A and B are shown apart, each in its own frame.
Chain A
Amino acid sequence: MSTITHKDSLLELLATRLELLEIKKEEVDTTKSLFEQGILDSLSFLEFAVEIEAKFDMELDFSELDPTEFNSIEKLSKIIENGN
């Protein structure tokens, strides 16, 4: 799988939230923090993490990861790539 498809799948997972916030997928800056763009907060980030784990059949280990370090679509897709 290439990084581009990871990005697309991640945006797909965010679709319902983006709809509620009236943000178009194209408007999401994949290099910028999802917190700063107002798309996620600390709790919804964890919900998102659960969805990522299910979707990509992987485990995110928060004992060493800090949400601020993979808060953008790009950083998340890198983690997925390394995790698989």
Chain B
Amino acid sequence: MNLYSIFNNSKQNYPDNIALMVDNTSYSYKKLGEIINKISDRLLNTEGNQIALMAHKSVIAYAGLLAALKSGKTYVPLNPKFPKSRNIKIISLSESRVVLVDNRCINNLVELLPEFEQSLTLIFPETAKEDIPEIASHHTIISKEDLINENNTIVDVDKDHLAYLLFTSGSTGVPKGVPISHTNVLSYVNYLIDRYDVKPTDRFSHVPDLTFDLSVHDLYLSFKGGAGLYCVPDNVVMAPAKFINTHQLTFWCSVPSLIQIMGRFKMLKPGNFPSIRWSVYCGEPLPKAVAEQWQKAASNTEIDNVYGPTETTVSITHYQLPRNEEIKENNGVVCIGSVFDTQELCLVDENDIPNEVEGEICLSGSQVAKGYWKDEDTTKKQFVKLKGKGDKIWYKTGDIAKYEDGLLFYVARKDFQVKIRGYRIELDEINDAIAKITEKTMVYTIPYPVVNGIADNLYTFVEGNSEQAKKDILLKLSKILPNYMLPKDILFIPEFPLNMNGKVDRKKLIEKII
């Protein structure tokens, strides 16, 4: 088996369809396949399994990751937008001995090299030898001129062989490697391809960076369907309205924050995006108000709100938002629905005993990773057997959810689930109340400082300016919420800081409190 076969099948069935549009250039399945075959010819002859990608979302990045799969190797995305030290850590932790580099990232790579005493194989598929700067002689360099042969071989891999390795922030400051197998991705894609009825005429957006696992969604669904993947350029990623319409995109997938930004810059006019037929929101709670705005702007779209950690391959629960009846929500946040038909979910209490009401989400099935990369201790803690559930291994997500009317509602991160003066706090309840009073859409409450789940105070951040005095807002709030849920301060900020994946950056908000 090989995950690459989904691309190869579409290449055989629709050789002239656009597979990829990136940097203003489109590549047919046939053309992209040729680039892949040239890269893979070299990859097949390199030592070691892990292939690091030092690239923007360029044709080399896309062809490179597909070539890695095809050659039976595991790809490890780096990110030129990451600090140098993080990319160095990812190469070291992943034990990658081969790095694929695109033209725009040559300097990003060169500045990492002094950290590597062991020899690396550096592949520059689009760079001529004379344009590659001087590199220490213990590294092997492969330039554009060296990529001559096209190699058609698709290496047959074991079902548990790793397709990619992504690093998420670990609580100790050392990134945690999440290894996802060919089977994990195929399970994900095969389940959704029917739900979304992907056709060869479809055109997918590609918004997330490759270091964010949400990028996996559009990538493999579009290739599986023989459809086109349209990489949204970095410069327009926050204002993609024109891009959507120019390319008549039919599939959209992003974090909800991006839609809030689009709303603020008047991009969500009713009927503005008639071409979109499916939208998927993932990575953050989806506010109902945002979803309704999007329903009006993308007037023909179905919307799925999905939930899932990197460890279970992109997403594993979904809720399709109805158009003509009430959207199920709690404190203004849309529910996350129910687990994929092919996977299993249960909730457990503090003692890991399953219950049907509320608790930590545990997941099992063919989309779930086997454990963390070279980290047995954390794997043992998070991948466990549960009482009354036989020999099955469950991944404990650290996310708390509850059931209402048979649907799942996200509550909070276990680590952030805080008590103030003995009361458990639901932050979204506070956010919702303040959003209504201030008539603002972007509200975010942070407990701070927190020690062992006990918080001293709450701070609420609101984007925009307030016409009302803080004490008036707090007065109104005190009529809705119990005393212990009142924030110590409400801070108005012009713009929410976002992290690399476009989600609200909690750490930066905390800095504003201090």
Which A residues contact B (CB, under 8 angstroms)? Answer: 35, 41-43, 45-47, 49-50, 59-68, 71
B241 interfacial contact with A, CB 8 Å: yes
Given contacts A42-B234, A61-B266, contact A47 B495 (CB under 8 A): yes
A53 to B238, CA, bound (A): 17
A19 to B233, CA, bound (A): 27
For B, the interface residue count at a CB cutoff of 8 angstroms equals: 21
A68 to B236, CA, bound (A): 7
A42 touches B239 (CB 8 A): yes
> Using Cβ atoms and an 8 Å threshold, which residues of chain A touch B495?
43, 47
A47 touches B494 (CB 8 A): yes
Contact with A along B242-259 (1 / 0, CB 8 A): 110000000000000000
- Select from chain B the residue with minimum beta-carbon distance to A59: B266
Closest 8 CB pairs of A and B: A66-B242, A42-B238, A62-B265, A62-B239, A63-B241, A63-B267, A35-B235, A62-B267
Task: Give the number of residue pairs across the A-B interface with Cβ within 8 Å.
Answer: 57
Contact of A46 among B234, B243, B265 (CB under 8 A): B265
> Using Cβ atoms and an 8 Å threshold, which residues of chain B touch A65?
239, 242
> Using Cβ atoms and an 8 Å threshold, which residues of chain B touch A61?
266
CB distance from B21 to the nearest CB of A (A): 15
A39 to B432, CA, bound (A): 36
> Using Cβ atoms and an 8 Å threshold, which residues of chain B touch A64?
241-242
Contacts A/B (CB < 8 Å), 26 sampled = A41-B234, A42-B235, A42-B236, A42-B237, A42-B239, A45-B235, A45-B238, A46-B261, A46-B265, A59-B266, A60-B265, A62-B241, A62-B265, A62-B267, A63-B241, A63-B266, A63-B267, A63-B269, A63-B272, A64-B241, A64-B242, A65-B239, A66-B239, A66-B243, A67-B238, A67-B239
Q: By CB atoms of chain B within 10 A, which of A50, A66, A68 has the most? A: A66
A67 to B234, CA, bound (A): 11
> Using Cβ atoms and an 8 Å threshold, which residues of chain B touch A60?
265
B235 touches A46 (CB 8 A): no
CB distance from A40 to the nearest CB of B (A): 9
> Using Cβ atoms and an 8 Å threshold, which residues of chain A touch B236?
42, 66-68
B267 touches A68 (CB 8 A): no
Q: By CB atoms of chain B within 10 A, which of A41, A42, A45 has the most? A: A42
Knowing that A60-B265, A65-B242, A66-B242 touch, tell me 13 more A-B residue pairs with CB under 8 angstroms.
A41-B234, A41-B235, A42-B235, A42-B237, A45-B235, A45-B238, A46-B239, A62-B267, A63-B266, A63-B269, A63-B272, A67-B238, A68-B236
A62 to B237, CA, bound (A): 12
A45 to B495, CA, bound (A): 12
B155 interfacial contact with A, CB 8 Å: no
A55 to B344, CA, bound (A): 55
- Select from chain A the residue with minimum beta-carbon distance to B297: A63
CB distance from A16 to the nearest CB of B (A): 13
> Using Cβ atoms and an 8 Å threshold, which residues of chain B touch A42?
234-239
A71 to B242, CA, bound (A): 15
A71 to B267, CA, bound (A): 18
B112 interfacial contact with A, CB 8 Å: no
- Select from chain A the residue with minimum beta-carbon distance to B497: A43
A63 to B241, CA, bound (A): 5
- Select from chain B the residue with minimum beta-carbon distance to A49: B265
A68 touches B233 (CB 8 A): yes
A62 to B273, CA, bound (A): 13
- Select from chain B the residue with minimum beta-carbon distance to A43: B238
A63 to B273, CA, bound (A): 10
CB distance from A66 to the nearest CB of B (A): 4
A50 to B494, CA, bound (A): 10
> Using Cβ atoms and an 8 Å threshold, which residues of chain B touch A45?
235, 238-239
CB distance from A60 to the nearest CB of B (A): 7
CB distance from B220 to the nearest CB of A (A): 25
A65 to B237, CA, bound (A): 13
B480 interfacial contact with A, CB 8 Å: no
A46 to B261, CA, bound (A): 9
A83 to B267, CA, bound (A): 18
B289 interfacial contact with A, CB 8 Å: no
> Using Cβ atoms and an 8 Å threshold, which residues of chain A touch B268?
63
Q: By CB atoms of chain B within 10 A, which of A60, A63, A67, A71 has the most? A: A63
B498 interfacial contact with A, CB 8 Å: yes
> Using Cβ atoms and an 8 Å threshold, which residues of chain A touch B272?
63
A50 to B262, CA, bound (A): 13
> Using Cβ atoms and an 8 Å threshold, which residues of chain B touch A68?
233, 235-236
- Select from chain A the residue with minimum beta-carbon distance to B244: A63
> Using Cβ atoms and an 8 Å threshold, which residues of chain A touch B266?
59, 61-63
> Using Cβ atoms and an 8 Å threshold, which residues of chain B touch A46?
238-239, 261, 265
Q: By CB atoms of chain A within 10 A, which of B238, B262, B267, B269 has the most? A: B238
A64 to B121, CA, bound (A): 45
> Using Cβ atoms and an 8 Å threshold, which residues of chain A touch B262?
62
A16 to B266, CA, bound (A): 26
- Select from chain A the residue with minimum beta-carbon distance to B502: A43
A64 to B262, CA, bound (A): 12
> Using Cβ atoms and an 8 Å threshold, which residues of chain B touch A66?
236, 239, 241-243
- Select from chain A the residue with minimum beta-carbon distance to B24: A68
Q: By CB atoms of chain B within 10 A, which of A41, A50, A59, A67 has the most? A: A67
- Select from chain A the residue with minimum beta-carbon distance to B242: A66
